[in-house]
């Protein structure tokens, strides 16, 4: 059962908003609800796409929470500087250790339970479905969105920050990667998708890529829906879908296919 939007039922209801100043204000905690905290120079970038569709509806209903922390407010001096030139020389700017330390201390104050601190970085571990499943089982997570040439290494070492990457490429900042990480995690929280089977049957959940999907019309541009899907025979449909998942994975992602085979061998052993 989910709460009716706008009613609290013992918990304070919150809603995503398009007003940056409201997003920058402290968000009241809902007891026992998974929460994402984002340290960023661009708090108005959130919730962004996370405020739309199923994730936005779930945010309105209090199935998950989000709080942005404006890094600029911890800046140094009259102009709230957050960065400086790299030690040893080089191009670009680096986010200062003292600024980041103050922001992290503020953001993590009072946090209890399983709550990872993550820095979105191209040198981090690449995101995958297993990571999202693990994060969805946490109490929440704090994401540090980098800019410029990155952050002072001492901050990563001092706080034991996990580095996570969206992929093997470089972006101008971590905000888009943070939204991707949150989206992929939040959709695994019970009640967000509505039909939990959707999360269980999709790509990567079984170690394989998802099978092809079809819908109306039954024939389009001379291409009919495969007969087996129209047969009504659920056993044959399940078998066909599994075979297609194997074929697609073997062809497109040999790395996943090898892992899938090794996993099956270990289970048999």
Q: Which residues are annotated as a binding site for S-adenosyl-L-methionine?
A: 146, 166-171
List the binding residues: 146, 166-171
Cβ(99)–Cβ(124) below 8 Å: no
Say if residue 16 is preceded by a cis peptide, omega within 30 of 0.
Answer: no
| Two structure tokens written together for 128 | 């995958």
Q: Residue 244 class from Cβ within 10 Å (0-12 exposed, 13-18 middle, 19+ buried)?
A: middle
Q: How many CA atoms lie within 13 A of 122 on its CB side?
A: 10
| Two structure tokens written together for 125 | 């571990």
Helices (H) and strands (E) in the chain, counts: 9, 9
45 Cβ partners below 8 Å, 6+ apart?
Answer: 175, 179
Quick one: CA dihedral 147, 150, 155, 159, positive or negative? Answer: positive
Q: Residue 204 class from Cβ within 10 Å (0-12 exposed, 13-18 middle, 19+ buried)?
A: middle
- Core vs surface per residue 161-186: b (16+ CB within 10 A) or e: bbbbbbeeeeeebbbbbbbbbbbbbb
> In terms of Cα–Cα distance, which of 149, 153, 164, 158 is closest to 118?
164
d(CA 49, CA 186): 13
């Amino acid at each position: 059962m989910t709460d009716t939007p706008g009613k609290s039922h013992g918990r304070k209801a919150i809603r995503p908003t398009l007003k940056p100043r409201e997003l920058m204000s402290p968000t009241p905690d809902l007891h026992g609800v998974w929460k994402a905290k984002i340290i960023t120079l661009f708090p108005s970038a959130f919730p962004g796409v996370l405020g739309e569709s199923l994730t936005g509806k779930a945010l309105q209903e209090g199935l998950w929470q989000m709080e942005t922390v404006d890094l600029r407010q911890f800046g140094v001096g009259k102009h709230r500087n957050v960065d400086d030139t790299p030690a040893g020389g080089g191009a670009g700017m680096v986010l200062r250790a003292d600024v980041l330390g103050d922001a992290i201390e503020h953001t993590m104050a009072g946090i209890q339970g399983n709550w990872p601190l993550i820095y979105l970085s191209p040198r981090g571990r690449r995101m995958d479905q297993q990571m999202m499943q693990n994060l969805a089982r946490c109490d929440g997570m704090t994401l540090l969105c980098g800019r410029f040439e990155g952050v002072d290494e001492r901050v990563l070492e001092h706080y034991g920050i996990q580095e996570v990457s969206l992929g093997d490429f470089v972006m101008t900042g971590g905000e888009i990667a943070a939204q991707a990480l949150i989206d992929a995690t939040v959709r695994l929280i019970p009640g967000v998708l509505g039909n939990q089977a959707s999360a269980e049957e999709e790509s990567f959940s079984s170690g394989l890529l998802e099978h092809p999907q079809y819908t109306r019309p039954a024939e389009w541009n001379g291409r009919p829906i495969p007969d087996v899907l129209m047969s009504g025979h659920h056993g044959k449909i399940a078998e066909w879908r599994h075979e297609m998942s194997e074929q697609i994975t073997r062809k497109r992602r040999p790395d996943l296919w090898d892992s899938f085979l090794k996993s099956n061998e270990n289970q048999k052993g």
